[in-house]
Amino acid sequence: MKNLILGGLSIVLLSSFATPAFSSEELAAVTVNNRQTTINYLPPVTLVQLAYQGYFTDLGIPSHGGFKSALISKQVTADTLIRSAIAKGRLSENVFNDQNYLDVLDTQLEGVIFD
């Protein structure tokens, strides 16, 4: 019984430390023609998590339950999220040309709606 309690507490403590600081996610540095360019890239999963957690509330995207409701009512779409991330410097505009990215983002948003 004692081991079960200690194990449960350990899991709770470890899971609280496992949440990464999403606002400091990836920037990719790419060298093109001897010129280094920084491309802002935020994985679709992280973009949805940030939106859900309220990172874009200053741009009119609600958080938590309001985010889910806004997705259902189509007030927030993949396009809205991408434009918000671009406005905050988290994504480059060329993401609109990446059909893979758009498909994964749509899948993530559907997951929020049906969760």
Residue by residue, pLDDT tens for the chain (115 residues) are 555 444 444 443 333 333 444 444 444 544 455 554 456 789 999 999 999 999 999 999 999 999 999 999 999 999 999 999 999 999 999 999 999 999 999 999 999 999 8
- Alpha-carbon distance of 82 to 50, in angstroms, equals 12
Query: What pLDDT is recorded for position 44?
Result: 97
Write out the two tokens for 104. Answer: 């994964």
Q: Residue 20 has what pLDDT?
A: 44
Rounded Cα–Cα distance for residues 20 and 46 (Å): 10
Q: What CA–CA distances, in Å, run from 32 to 27, 35, 37, 70, 75?
A: 16, 5, 7, 40, 38
What is the amino acid identity at position 33?
N
pLDDT score at 115: 82
